[in-house]
Amino acid sequence: MNPATLKTHEVKTVAPLQNFATAHASSMRVAIVEDDPSQAELLTHWLELAGHHCHHFDRGELLIRSLDQESFDVLVLDWNLPDISGVDVLKRIRNSSQSALPILFVTARNREDDVVTALRQGADDYMVKPVRRLELLARLEAIARRGKHRSEQPEIIELDVYKVDTQTRTVMRKERQVELTAKDFDLSVLFLRNVGRLLSRGHIRESVWGPNAVVTSRTLDTHVSRIRNKLGLTPEHGWRLAAVYRYGYRLEQLDAAAQRLAATNER
């Protein structure tokens, strides 16, 4: 770009950031793998203004390691990283226990074969930098919606003997209301919306108590134990709210055989 082509005087305005949080989007836990600190800060700023919680990794290996103990709703992944390439990160995730994690590639590489490679290796979507704010949010929400574990978030959740109304914040079990504290309600909704999904302790803490709350493991375990008892999330009722060592919890709905087996094992 020739300096001579620059205009000698110009006034322009960077578009305002407020008022764009999408009404239908619920908060997501977003992992961002990006080695450029400015780009990472900008993406984080945009996503947090839209109500999402962001976790930044400046190396691919750091994210891969974190997935042993953490879960996320969606991943924003750069291609050019200092340690391993974004495509390698993508391949390793797709071959791991977190293979269903929705992944959006955000990279300055704009060649057609780059886009094709990323999509064929399992990326859910691909954006070329510089990214536009609203498009980024819309694409993230779209791949999260399409994700295996995350669908539209209805106000009423009906599942087996449970009926949850997120507007009135009530939980019915076998048509009888279950008395829950505010945190226990939020925890119940989180698990009932993510049946079968392994949720890390960090993910649970952030979703229920917020990103800055200090919550001990013991406190979290106490709340989980309480909703397990109050909602009857136990094998004899066809459910299991299982602790996964050094990771978190998973709510599982048992089929008849698994229910019998679990009941036998617990005797």
Partner 1 sequence: MSTLTGSTHKQSTLASALPALTVMVEKDLEVLVQRFLARKRDDLDRARAALGTGDFETIRRIGHDLKGAGEGFGFPELSAFGAALERAAVLHNERALGDELAAVDQFLSRLRITFK
- Measure the CA–CA gap between 132 and 143, rounded to whole angstroms: 17
Residue type for position 102: P
Smallest distance, partner 1 to C-beta of residue 77, A: 13
111 binds partner 1 (CB under 8 A): no
Contacts for 177 with CB less than 8 Å, ≥ 6 apart: 170, 171
3 binds partner 1 (CB under 8 A): yes
Q: Which is nearer to partner 1, 44 or 207 (CB)?
A: 44
Integer CA distances (angstroms), 154 to 164, 174, 227, in order: 10, 20, 21
Give 251-258 contacts, CB < 8 A, sequence gap 24+.
251/191, 251/192, 251/194, 251/195, 251/196, 251/197, 252/195, 252/196, 253/159, 253/160, 253/195, 253/196
Smallest distance, partner 1 to C-beta of residue 84, A: 16
**Site residue total, partner 1 (CB under 8 A):** 31
* Residues numbered 68-107 forming contacts with partner 1, rule: CB under 8 A: 80, 107
- Measure the CA–CA gap between 188 and 120, rounded to whole angstroms: 37
| Number of Cβ within a 10 Å radius of residue 101 | 22
Smallest distance, partner 1 to C-beta of residue 128, A: 9
Q: Which is nearer to partner 1, 25 or 108 (CB)?
A: 108
* Residues numbered 117-156 forming contacts with partner 1, rule: CB under 8 A: 129-133
Q: Which is nearer to partner 1, 14 or 256 (CB)?
A: 14
Smallest distance, partner 1 to C-beta of residue 17, A: 6
14 binds partner 1 (CB under 8 A): yes
* Residues numbered 15-54 forming contacts with partner 1, rule: CB under 8 A: 15-18, 36-39, 41-42, 45
* List 25, 88, 92, 108, residue binding partner 1 (CB under 8 A): 108
Q: Which is nearer to partner 1, 129 or 149 (CB)?
A: 129
- Measure the CA–CA gap between 99 and 115, rounded to whole angstroms: 20
- Measure the CA–CA gap between 256 and 267, rounded to whole angstroms: 17
Q: Which is nearer to partner 1, 106 or 123 (CB)?
A: 106
Contacts for 202 with CB less than 8 Å, ≥ 6 apart: 69, 70, 71, 248
215 binds partner 1 (CB under 8 A): no
Smallest distance, partner 1 to C-beta of residue 52, A: 16
Smallest distance, partner 1 to C-beta of residue 41, A: 5
Q: Which is nearer to partner 1, 18 or 216 (CB)?
A: 18
- Measure the CA–CA gap between 15 and 69, rounded to whole angstroms: 38
173 binds partner 1 (CB under 8 A): no
Contact residues toward partner 1 (CB under 8 A) are: 1-3, 6-18, 36-39, 41-42, 45, 80, 107-108, 129-133
